[in-house]
Structure 1
Amino acid sequence: MAMGSFDPRRPQTPIADINVVPLVDVMLVLLVIFIITAPLLTHSVKVDLPKASSAPNITQPAHVEFAIRANGELRWNGARVAPQELAARFATEARKQPQPELHIRADRQARYERVAQVMSAAAQAGLVRIGFVTEPVKP
């Protein structure tokens, strides 16, 4: 290892040696750690599992397409519906098993008050799966 001198008569030269002792120490510690932990990671219990082929049973619950137009008109699966009929229809759907999802399609210009009233009526009737349907943004 080169040492600098404090003697003013000797020219100051930069130290060009790299001290690799700490690097070697760290590498040896890591090597020991990996040697100890590697067998623990590969240890597994051999179990002879039974073989079976099956397809998942996916049942999609029905859904109700509910639309709110800009002029306040309400549509139930495409058919026009009066606001007075909503509570009865929501209650009927809430009793079904599995309970259908309510997909709300609200027009951009529809009043928020109308959307909130519909959501409130659905929640009061017992519908728990309520979602909004939107159009994706096109770049």
Structure 2
Amino acid sequence: MKVQEENAAYDEINVTPMLDLAYVLLVVFILMCTASVQGITVDLPKASDAPSLAKPQTKAITVTADGTIFLDTYPVDMAQLESMLQQFKAVNPALPVVIKGDASVQYVKIVDVLALLGKLDITQIGLVTQNLVK
């Protein structure tokens, strides 16, 4: 049996640690390249530290089965609805509105309300529906 000397040269080099290092460097390179390309640089405005006390005041328009129109809980006709929405829009230009229509109401009533909202340039509109649970 041949005994190896302690000072003998190695015939093989263990390349596993070098491959581990190469893979880690490759992953770091890929992450840094994709992170620098991501998005457009924009100088964003700073928000104040004080919490906002004013909440957006969403107005609800309800159309019942008989065609009666309510703004929040008050019955109105189309002319009153237009004047009241103009007043609310003057206070809050980004006035959000939700429309609740009865399932049996004529479609033309909802279209009339949507046309009025378009005329007043109210763009934040939501239609309330019911979830169907199966």
**Short-chain TM bin:** 0.5 to 0.7
Query: What TM-score, normalized to structure 1?
Result: 0.59
2:110 matched residue in structure 1? 115
Could you list the runs of 4 or more consecutive aligned residues of structure 1 that deviate by over 2 angstroms after TM superposition?
30-36, 38-43, 54-60, 97-100
* Residue 25 of structure 2 corresponds to residue 40 of structure 1: no
Count matched residues. 103
Flag the 1:39–1:85 CA change in 2: closer, same or farther, 3 A: closer
CA distance in 1: counterparts of 2:73 and 2:125, whole angstroms? 18
Cα distance in 1 for residues equivalent to 2:80 and 2:28: 69
Greater Rg by CA: 1
Given residue 64 of structure 1, which amino acid in structure 2 is its aligned partner?
K
CA contact (8 A) 2:61 2:72 kept: yes
- Taking only the aligned residue pairs, the percentage that are identical comes to 17
Which 5+ residue runs of structure 1 have no aligned equivalent? 1-29, 44-53
Structural mapping, 1:1-139, within 5 Å:
34=23, 36-40=25-29, 57=52, 60-139=55-134
Q: Structure 1: how far apart are the matches of 2:116 and 2:21?
A: 67
Structure 2 Cα separation of the partners of residues 118 and 136 of structure 1: 23
Residue 99 of structure 1: CA displacement? 2.8
Residue 93 of structure 1 and its aligned partner are, at CA, apart by 1.9
| 1:84-119 deviation per Cα after TM superposition (whole angstroms, max 9, x unaligned) | 212212211221225321110000011111101111
Shift of 1:58: 8.0
Q: In the alignment, is the contact (CA less than 8 A) between 1:64 and 1:101 conserved in 2?
A: yes
RMSD: 3.3
